[in-house]
A = this chain, B = another copy of it.
Amino acid sequence: MSYESDFLQSLRRLATDPAARGLTDDAAVLGLGERSLVLTKDLLVEGVHYLPGDPPADVAWKLLAVNLSDLAAKGARPCGVLLGYSLGEEAWDRAFVEGLGGALQAFGVALLGGDTVKAPPGAPRTFSLTAIGEATGAVPSRGGAGAGEQLWVSGTIGDAGAGLRSLRGGIDAAQSLIERYRNPRPRLGAGEALAPLVTAMMDVSDGLLIDAARMAEASGVAVRIDLGDVPLSGAFLEALGSGRDARLFASTAGDDYELLFAAPAEAGAEILRLSERLGLPLSRIGGFAAGAGLRLTDGGDEVSMPERLGWEHG
């Protein structure tokens, strides 16, 4: 067990309130009278989660989007956010605030408060954001998937990964892919509409394979994904093709901020109707079975597991 996961274990021992969901879910769910609040907090560290050269407006956008994506995965409607800001260079900070304003407006979310500090000169900066949402019904956890149920994902997978690879000079990719890396769009509407239909839901942030494995583990079941069913965009196919390597790349790249969810077979027709109504692909990519672990197939044929399933932490 890594030091970081050891540390998380020690925090989990403190988080005995049921609202904390054992710190194993994407968000806390706090009952307040007849309402339920959904609370999440994510940090971005300079040099770790973004590069000093990244456009500040994109850093602001991402900080907001990754937190709202956690709310989306819980079917919650955002009420507002609190910002923890570390002051740096004036022009950078100004561009950050401008980007934050645009992102708040794009998602219709209110800035409610926070704190601003001066980091010691030259120190990498840490930004934090707390997003507060209100549950729109029962709040799906990661851990509710059952054997025999199906695994679904929203949108297309791998676009942000291809965008990042292009930014790093690895490939030529359409601007739309770079856009998906820089300005992810949390699936708030879809999350709210899906919440009543699913047995488990989370967002894909670290990679489709690793996140699906986490859902299976939290649910105490095994999961199978068919690479051939992983939804790829036209721009992705143009940049990287549809071969197995491209599909494995898409399924492990992360930063998708799509919704990954489990549902019984009976819910399939309803999910497809919803997909049409939302104008958002919702694709069945696998299923759950008794047991444990992740299996990969491609058009039904068994595929050996790649060395890396996504971004590991915790």
The interface of chain A, by Cβ under 8 A from chain B, is 3-4, 7-8, 10-11, 13-17, 19-21, 23, 27-28, 30, 32-35, 37, 39-43, 45-49, 79-80, 82-87, 90, 93-94, 97, 100-101, 104, 110-120, 123-126, 128, 130, 132, 134, 313-314
Q: Find A17's partner among B83, B94, B112, B124 (CB 8 Å cutoff).
A: B112
- A119 pairs with B112, CB closer than 8 A: no
- B43 pairs with A37, CB closer than 8 A: no
A sample of 20 cross-chain residue pairs with beta-carbon separation below 8 angstroms, ordered by A number, consists of A3-B90, A7-B97, A7-B116, A8-B116, A11-B83, A14-B97, A14-B104, A20-B110, A23-B114, A37-B37, A37-B132, A39-B113, A39-B130, A43-B84, A46-B120, A48-B117, A116-B314, A123-B123, A126-B126, A132-B132
Q: Find A115's partner among B41, B48, B90, B117 (CB 8 Å cutoff).
A: B41
**Given A33-B34, A41-B130, A116-B11, does the pair A111, B20 have CB atoms closer than 8 Å?**
yes
**How many Å lie between the Cα of A123 and that of B45 in the bound state?**
11
Min CB distance A312 to B, Å, is 12
**How many Å lie between the Cα of A83 and that of B43 in the bound state?**
10
- A15 pairs with B113, CB closer than 8 A: yes
A21 cross-chain contacts in B, Cβ below 8 A: 113
- A49 closest partner in B (C-beta): B117
Count of identical protomers in the assembly: 2
**Given A79-B32, A120-B47, does the pair A114, B10 have CB atoms closer than 8 Å?**
no
**How many Å lie between the Cα of A23 and that of B43 in the bound state?**
21
- A15 closest partner in B (C-beta): B111
- B82 pairs with A45, CB closer than 8 A: no
- A39 pairs with B132, CB closer than 8 A: yes
Min CB distance A41 to B, Å, is 4
**How many Å lie between the Cα of A45 and that of B14 in the bound state?**
23
What are the nearest 5 A-B pairs in CB distance?
A17-B110, A28-B112, A28-B113, A126-B126, A130-B130
A7 cross-chain contacts in B, Cβ below 8 A: 87, 93-94, 97, 116
A16 cross-chain contacts in B, Cβ below 8 A: 110
- A14 pairs with B100, CB closer than 8 A: yes
- B30 pairs with A112, CB closer than 8 A: yes
- B15 pairs with A112, CB closer than 8 A: yes
**Given A82-B28, A120-B124, does the pair A112, B34 have CB atoms closer than 8 Å?**
no
Min CB distance A108 to B, Å, is 11
**How many Å lie between the Cα of A42 and that of B114 in the bound state?**
7
- A80 pairs with B4, CB closer than 8 A: no
**How many Å lie between the Cα of A126 and that of B110 in the bound state?**
24
A19 cross-chain contacts in B, Cβ below 8 A: 79-80, 110, 112
- B112 pairs with A128, CB closer than 8 A: no
- A9 closest partner in B (C-beta): B97
